Chain A
């Protein structure tokens, strides 16, 4: 069954959706780039089953679990117990042969298992021992997430593996180090491993957790009820086990005189990538996409090119996928997409908006107005918050983003979704508001 002759890298494909027609004098070119990785299985199926490898096999990988052990984890005591259970469930989901470690986090980071700056190799024995070690986890101390990440980085670097991943659980604010310390730690770890972050309960800071996941190209979410942790951890670990290739970069070439206005991931979540560009030769730059299993993501690329005369055609961007190598070179993954610009005096052609571009422009605006609305609400600007969240309800309704619409309905009373008429709810559960904020960047794809 195993296909050993095949490269360990999944097949990537790049599709470009755009309206290439521009009116005279215009230069802004928008395109949605869909990147799809397939290992022979169906897209979107259980990522738990890596398709390039026979069952139980997979690319070499290392995972570090970072569990918050600060004093607040004991209030209520079920939180610590649930965290232990969740970590145990995640360990059970480890594939044999995967390197792993468990880190207990307070104002300092402690190795819980296996210790001595090593990683354990998963098998029945080590999984059992790790779970035993979890019993020693106890709450007490502060929170300094930067130290947890730095330890995880050191541990992950000790193994020569293809996929490096972290899973971080916190229940409180990062109170025992400065935001600069956390930022420095994130900068040091970015590109070295990917990390999913989860906030449990409602005493943590949404922007801290989403910031960690964003910097380390992972997912962020809220687990308001500690009882839901085990299922979430299992899912996260299965996703991590499904990754087949790490450190993929989107290489964007644009012509001389062009400026890249932005590059952002728009599905499954909105993620700004514009500032993460690293130059890669003349007129080309790389944007990190993290590690990939069998999945498909969409990116919105906006390039401003110097306008040409009517009837002319220009290549506005060439999109390819590469894996940058330590020696400065790059392994090209083969797939490429062309973003074109054609100047025309046919108004019907130049004024039409590509449905994909329109859809994701709306989804990005949705994420933005939710964030702005919640910020205004916290600042006490009820009118401003109502306007922003009303627009959010309208956008979610039009684009069919039902999940976000449901979350919004817990924060505002929807009078008319089509016009975006809403009233702020007088009383909002903190968990609902945090859930909305954490998941505001989740998007839906274009209905085909």
Chain B
């Protein structure tokens, strides 16, 4: 099956995260014996948020899909000991099924005047942030050239004489029209190598990482207002599938399309969960459209597969948290009060997760298989069928929503680890929190592109006056 081989190519060595070929028995980079892959750390899957439900239980195997509202036992009002749920989001009333057309709420007023704080901003491209050698330079990345902005003093000398940007690698050559230094030949940092964006209380950071030659992740963040005037925040993160052609274009197209879809649907009163479903469909259409276009950068792509990417998104309103995803990018919930349990809110579209969910294999057996990390769902023209997963939560306390690619969660897999890594003030300083998380992945080796978006919950900060 061609699909399977493509997926298998995405699985990674459990020891060093080296990408593996489907037939590998040992990791080509570190020699890790892949036949002895240990079980992934038990991580309460999506629905058992309060830890009261064993992972193997029926409800836990169900995808948190809206048409099948979570079964009762999975959502106890309190913990097994009768105490109130420890910071766990509780399920909302069953949302409208995503297949049903979004019926505008009766209260929607299309003639609503613009609300100053809640108008959907036009989303400019994420601003590239030059990697500064001055402040945010992690100590373990000495002198890696893309991090460093040209030294203005050196740059000034040669630029004035040569009349063009000066190379960041050798600081001696001019950069030619193709983006290479005419002296040392080094490719210059690209816009997408490192991106940061802050929009309202939502912040996102994306980094190329240390081992990949380009950033195939993309994100989009935005804020808007619901028809009742309360704010809604949106974060979308996409991870291009490296074995496909032009994965960077796929992730960019998907994140933009989903973001635009949400920002236009939410103010119209579409239920956030329905809006998320529609946004994923819109993103899939955008990626599918890429497959028809001629390969502009054919030499960049050793394989010729349809462009593909994963998607994960979160919408945060005053009382509701909606997530949606396809693929293995994830959403984590981390309460501000760290004594309350954190949780992973998504369930990977991966081979192992499917095997476990279908009851065909135990978790240990499934994750020991070499196909464990192959993704089984993605956006792209060659996807089997689009199966957007969405879920709604009503967290009972403030927290921060972590929307990320596997470039981050590879280094903080369980919800507990994620909660340990994220700064305590992430809900207040989300951009700083996102930078710290990206730094954590880079410190761990940065084997993949790293992208993380942080959305504080609830949308209206506690104590702040309602809009």
Binding site for B on A (CB under 8 A): 16, 19-21, 253-258, 283, 305, 308-316, 318, 338, 340-349, 352
Contact = CB atoms under 8 A, between A and B. Distances in A.
B21 A315 contact: no
Nearest to B185: A255
A341 B181 CA distance: 13
A338 B178 contact: yes
Interface stretch (B54-62, B205-213, B268-276, B417-425): B205-213
Interface in B172-195: 172-173, 178, 180-187
B73 interface: no
8 contacts: A19-B302, A256-B185, A258-B185, A313-B187, A313-B213, A313-B214, A314-B184, A338-B178
Contacts of A254: 185
Contacts of B29: 345, 347
Contact of B21 (A309, A312, A348): A348
Contacts of A344: 211-213
List the 9 closest A-B pairs by CB distance, nearest first. Answer: A255-B185, A315-B180, A313-B187, A315-B185, A347-B28, A314-B185, A342-B213, A311-B213, A255-B184
A345 B447 CA distance: 9
Given A255-B185, A312-B186, 20 more contacts: A16-B299, A20-B299, A21-B302, A255-B181, A305-B185, A308-B186, A310-B211, A311-B208, A311-B209, A312-B145, A312-B187, A313-B186, A313-B213, A314-B180, A315-B181, A315-B185, A340-B187, A342-B213, A344-B211, A345-B447
B183 A343 contact: no
A314 B187 contact: yes
B198 interface: no
Contacts of B299: 16, 20, 340
Given A20-B299, A256-B170, A345 B211 contact: yes
Interface of B: 9, 18-19, 21, 28-29, 144-145, 170, 172-173, 178, 180-187, 208-214, 299, 302, 447
Given A21-B302, A338-B178, A346 B19 contact: yes
Given A310-B210, A343-B213, A256 B21 contact: no
A311 B450 CA distance: 14
Given A311-B208, A346-B19, A257 B213 contact: no
A340 B214 CA distance: 14
Nearest to B190: A313
Nearest to A15: B299
Contacts of B18: 345
A343 B212 CA distance: 8
A254 B18 CA distance: 32
Contacts of B28: 347
Nearest to A310: B211
A313 B297 CA distance: 15
B187 A315 contact: yes
Nearest to A308: B186
Contacts of B19: 346
Nearest to A21: B302
A143 B336 CA distance: 97
Contacts of B211: 310-311, 344-345
B87 to A, nearest CB: 39
Contacts of B182: 253
Contacts of B184: 255-257, 314
A253 B178 CA distance: 14
Contacts of A313: 186-187, 213-214
B142 to A, nearest CB: 11
Contacts of A345: 18, 29, 211, 447
A29 to B, nearest CB: 10
Nearest to B212: A311
> Which of A20, A255, A338, A349 neighbours the largest number of chain B CB atoms within 10 Å of its CB?
A255
A128 to B, nearest CB: 56
B183 A256 contact: yes
A116 B31 CA distance: 79
Contacts of A316: 185
Contacts of A338: 178, 180
A21 B214 CA distance: 13
B178 A352 contact: no
A352 B185 contact: no
A217 B187 CA distance: 36
Contacts of B9: 348
Contacts of B180: 314-315, 318, 338
A310 to B, nearest CB: 5
Nearest to A354: B302
Contacts of A311: 208-213
Nearest to B21: A348
| Most chain B beta carbons < 10 A, residue from A257, A258, A348 | A348
Nearest to B19: A346
B253 to A, nearest CB: 23
Nearest to B183: A256
Contact of B302 (A255, A343, A349): A349
A335 to B, nearest CB: 14
Contacts of B170: 256
Nearest to A347: B28
A409 to B, nearest CB: 38
Contacts of A348: 9, 21
A280 to B, nearest CB: 14
Nearest to A309: B144
Nearest to A17: B299
A258 B185 CA distance: 10
A314 B302 contact: no
Given A255-B184, A309-B144, A315 B210 contact: no
A347 B29 CA distance: 8
A311 B146 CA distance: 10
A50 B186 CA distance: 42
Nearest to B302: A349
A346 B130 CA distance: 27
